[in-house]
Amino acid sequence: MRDLTDITVAITGASSGIGAATARALAAEGASLVLGARRVDRLDDLAAELGTKIAVVEMDVREPADSSRLVARAFSSFGRLDALVANAGIGAYGGIMDLSDEQLREMMDVNVAGTVWPIRAAVPGFVEAGGGDIVIVASVAGLRGAGDEAVYAATKFAQVGLAGGLDRELREFGIRVSTIAPGGTATEFAMGAGRTPDMPGLADMMRAEDVAAAVVTVLRQPTSMRTLIWSMRSIKEDD
């Protein structure tokens, strides 16, 4: 397995849930991290918890320039960028006519454009370095449609399509593009937009740490091979 000590990984949406758990798991492997999200106070707390090889960037994934700052910070702080975890995302449950224009616009902007901008920022450095990893945290909703989350599913299908296309486009440069497609995971995701903290289903979901372990496992594969899609569910969840 590949040693992750001293590689540098940028993570979007590192302020909570799967992104924060991924930061903890990668820090335990010895990686240097650049943590991006809007809630910088949470990123600062996480950085303080994790120690020295952590940089924090306040960013909104909807802004291309913010992604450029995320990548630039990897080079200015650690001299390199080896992997990008495009994890930031939002969800809201409801039928196509139930959600507001603004909710749908934000979901499409954050989940689709907010995946494209960080990747575009990272690719030139990966090409120059002769390789790199892009790990996209998509969803089972990106593999099959589901009622009450059709637009969310559309954004996640977009991520899966993006990953498939980029694999074909970037493999010749040694760039691996992997998609993680988790089922329900007990995080703050969609709280107030379809989920509640006390809903019974949360206890049956996967933990953020389970998904983070998958990200680590993907990155630890020898660079002579690549993982395309890792679809994962709680034992309690249907397919």
Ligand X SMILES: NC(=O)c1ccc[n+]([C@@H]2O[C@H](COP(=O)([O-])OP(=O)(O)OC[C@H]3O[C@@H](n4cnc5c(N)ncnc54)[C@H](OP(=O)(O)O)[C@@H]3O)[C@@H](O)[C@H]2O)c1
| Active centre residues (catalytic) | 152
Q: How far is the CB of 187 from ligand X (least distance, A)?
A: 3
- Please give the Cα distance from 142 to 150 (Å, whole number): 10
Which CB sits closer to ligand X, 29 or 106?
106
> By three-state DSSP, how is residue 177 classified?
strand
Residues in contact with ligand X, shown as a per-residue x/- string from 147 to 186 under the rule CB under 6 A: -----------------------------------x-xx-
User: Nearer Cβ to ligand X, position 24 or 62?
Assistant: 62
> Between residues 64 and 130, which has the closer beta carbon with respect to ligand X?
64
Task: Name the residue among 105, 108, 179, 187 with its Cα closest to residue 138.
Answer: 179
Residue 15 touching ligand X (CB under 6 A): yes
Of residues 29 and 45, the one with the C-beta less far from ligand X: 45
The helix (run of H) or strand (run of E) holding residue 231 is strand 229-232
List residues bridging with 32 in a β-sheet.
8
Q: Can you tell me which of 24, 53, 62, 233 binds ligand X, judged by CB under 6 A?
A: 62
84 binds ligand X (CB under 6 A): no
Structure tokens at 82: 């080896």
For residue 132, state whether it binds ligand X (rule: CB under 6 A): no
67 lies in the binding site for ligand X (CB under 6 A): no
* Nearest CA among 151, 145, 55, 138 for reference residue 103: 151
Distance CA 80, CA 130 (A): 12
Residue whose C-alpha is closest to residue 158's, from 215, 114, 216: 114
Instruction: Say whether residue 118 binds ligand X (CB under 6 A).
Output: no
CA distance 237 to 79: 42
Binding residues for ligand X, rule: CB under 6 A, are 12-19, 37-39, 59-62, 87-91, 110, 114, 137, 139, 182, 184-185, 187-189, 208
